Amino acid sequence: MVALMQRCGVAVALLAACGWGAWCWHRGLGLGAYWFGLVLALAPQAPVLALEFLLLASLGRDPSMARPGAGSLLRAWASEVITAWQVFGWRQPFAADRTPDLLGQPDRIGVLLLHGYGCNRGLWTPWLQRLRQLGVPCTALTLEPAFGRIERCLPAVEAAVLDLTRQSGRAPLLVGHSMGGLVARAWLAAQADSPAADARVLGVVTIATPHHGTWLARFGVGPNARQMRRDSGWLAALAARETPQRLARFTCFYSHADNLVMPARSAMLEGADNRHLDGVAHVQMLFEPAVLDEVLRRVGAGSRDVGER
């Protein structure tokens, strides 16, 4: 569903670019107007992301940490525009299944990759390529339904954990970006025996996950967006089922320049290993070297390079 929606978005952007070019030619407008419209049509995320960063600067202040400067936010915006075009303009709509999972690697710790809201497994393509190069067992799920309750994703997580464990003989590491981190927490919380559930995984790494909700979730569509609102009852119930011992096995990456998780401290968990990424936007965080460094360290693998964003 997500891939189809994003293919339609790319088609509309291309049609808009062609229409703008034809109109500029017909009206005899200069190259400046032509290129301005062309860039706007082919990078429709740019103005939306600009609005998110303006909201972050004006409403997303977090008194618990230093505020990013205007230059830092501008650089984060520019990087996020490029990253968003690669992710939402190509990998997810057209290449989500191009890089397969890697299984059948006995006695090696596997990695289960869980994407966030409005995404699919194509988000993880550079990760899958690098993990495959290193021989690390890995599975990236496309969580369905895309805009349903988070609980509806849990059977797929259960099946993937069982498969990775059976194939490698080792408990896997769960890695979740944005909503994917909440999926990992919900899967752990849904199991009756808490200590046994914790033993089924090496640990959990979350990246830009709204553990305590985000102000922008009010604009999202579907039950999962409502679950991610600030101070939602669902988040409170989830936290009530967690123990300090479980949260101590989490590593949470967050940034004060996150344009979707506001305030930034919402991406932190009490008792977890919380790590700040300076001046890095929401999707861009996934491709920061420090993040893959930590994952590879946890699974005992090598080089950190995730390739081109």
What six digits make up the tokens of 209? 């996950």
Higher pLDDT, 179 or 67: 179
Average of pLDDT values for 240-258?
A: 96
Average of pLDDT values for 54-59?
A: 88
Examine the pLDDT at 199 and tell me if it is beyond 90.
yes
Every domain of the chain and the residues it spans: 2-94, 111-299
Higher pLDDT, 291 or 45: 291
Examine the pLDDT at 306 and tell me if it is beyond 80.
no
Give the contacts of 36 (CB within 8 A, at least 6 positions apart).
none
Examine the pLDDT at 36 and tell me if it is beyond 60.
yes
Q: 228-236 long-range contacts, Cβ below 8 Å, gap at least 24? A: 228/117, 228/179, 228/182, 230/266, 234/150, 235/182, 235/211
Higher pLDDT, 24 or 158: 158
Average of pLDDT values for 163-173?
A: 95
The 8-class DSSP code of residue 89 comes to: I
C-alpha torsion sign, points 121, 122, 124, 125: positive
Does this model's pTM top 0.75? My answer is yes
Average of pLDDT values for 296-305?
A: 77
Distance CA 274, CA 267 (A): 9
pLDDT for the residue 308: 41
Distance CA 184, CA 205 (A): 9
User: Span 111-299: which CATH code?
Assistant: 3.40.50.1820
Distance CA 41, CA 222 (A): 27
> With the CA atoms of 304, 258, 84 and 92 taken in that order, what torsion angle do they form, in degrees rounded to the nearest 10?
70
Q: Considering the chain, what is the average pLDDT of its residues? A: 90
pLDDT for the residue 221: 94
**Confidence class for position 249, pLDDT limits 50, 70, 90:** very high
